[in-house]
Amino acid sequence: MSIDVLNHDLFPRNEQYPATLLALTFESHGEQLLGRMLVAQGAGPHPTIVLLHGFPGNEQNGDLAHIFRRAGWNVLLFHYRGAWGSPDTFSFTHACEDVASALCWLRTAEAQERYQADAHKIVLIGHSMGGFAALLTAATDPAVYGVASLAGFQFGLLARLLREDAALQAAVIEDWRGELAALRGTTAEQLVQEVLDEGEGWEMERYLDILAQRRVCLIGASYDTVATVPLHHTPLVAALEAHSARELRSALLPTDHAFSDARVALAKHLLAWLDSIL
């Protein structure tokens, strides 16, 4: 694998094991979540990325998924409960639970056989809320091979700020009201209350000792007005460095929360990291 996949349009087709895109569902807490698997060409088994979108998921990073597949990785994309057509109600807790369910499903013999997935090399890459869910899952599942957070949002930090500032609570509720069109079964008020109720357990400081032993990549965006660098990126990088993180890679790109004008640079950073951990 190499970042050279960004510099070529065509690769020799493997006629026996071509690259494919397959729609799928898997179960999480009694519901069938909607997803799709980009299967890398070749006989496999292929290292596999679970690519996690944020809240509500307007940026789903499909361009990265195709690039990762060209580099030899399977890529699973799916929608959390209550998001983008998946059944049940959306919550941040459900999203984190659904990531764990995705890992359990990928480790089944059926998934490994059908998609030629290497159950021992599963990497989580999440954007914004997905970055938070990826880090939290990696901190509690020792079998996760590596984890990357892109403009990751720290909900434990948000909980602390909300408790201290009633005006901020009102502002966040107003902001989140505009993000619910693709979600079902929730309100902005309910989501803010969930952050207040669960935030203490979502503080990354609780997991620094564990994450310092993992393969971690943190990429921030210097013009990010959602997961601002001084609050959501730099302190976590510094804290992991202070814990003598063994395999930490970090970068800061001059772009916005969605990495809108730095997609190639983002892909290059991630491909270089993926190469390094393999």
Confidence bin at 3 (pLDDT 50/70/90) = low
The pLDDT assigned to 110 comes to 95
The pLDDT assigned to 162 comes to 97
The pLDDT assigned to 128 comes to 98
Percent of the chain having pLDDT more than 90? Answer: 94
* Six-digit token string for 126: 């999440």
pLDDT, tens digit, 9 for 90 and up, residues 215-228:
999 999 999 999 99
Distance in angstroms (rounded) separating the CA atoms of residues 151 and 54: 10
> Beta strand 74-78 with 46-52: parallel, antiparallel or unpaired?
parallel
| CA angle centred on 152, ends 20 and 77, rounded to 5° | 15
The pLDDT assigned to 7 comes to 67
Confidence bin at 9 (pLDDT 50/70/90) = low
pLDDT, tens digit, 9 for 90 and up, residues 182-201:
999 999 999 999 999 999 99
Q: Please compute the mean of the pLDDT values over residues 146-150 and round it to a whole number.
A: 98
92: alpha, beta or left, given left = phi > 0 and alpha = psi -120 to 50? alpha
Mean pLDDT, the chain, as a whole number?
96
Find out whether the peptide bond into 254 is cis, omega within 30 degrees of 0. Answer: no
pLDDT surpassing 70 at residue 44: yes
Distance in angstroms (rounded) separating the CA atoms of residues 129 and 98: 13
Domains of the chain: 17-277 (3.40.50.1820)
Write down the pTM of the prediction. Answer: 0.96
Q: Are 195 and 228 in contact (CB under 8 A)?
A: no
Distance in angstroms (rounded) separating the CA atoms of residues 40 and 120: 16
Q: Please compute the mean of the pLDDT values over residues 55-70 and round it to a whole number.
A: 97
End-to-end CA gap in the chain: 9
Confidence bin at 2 (pLDDT 50/70/90) = low
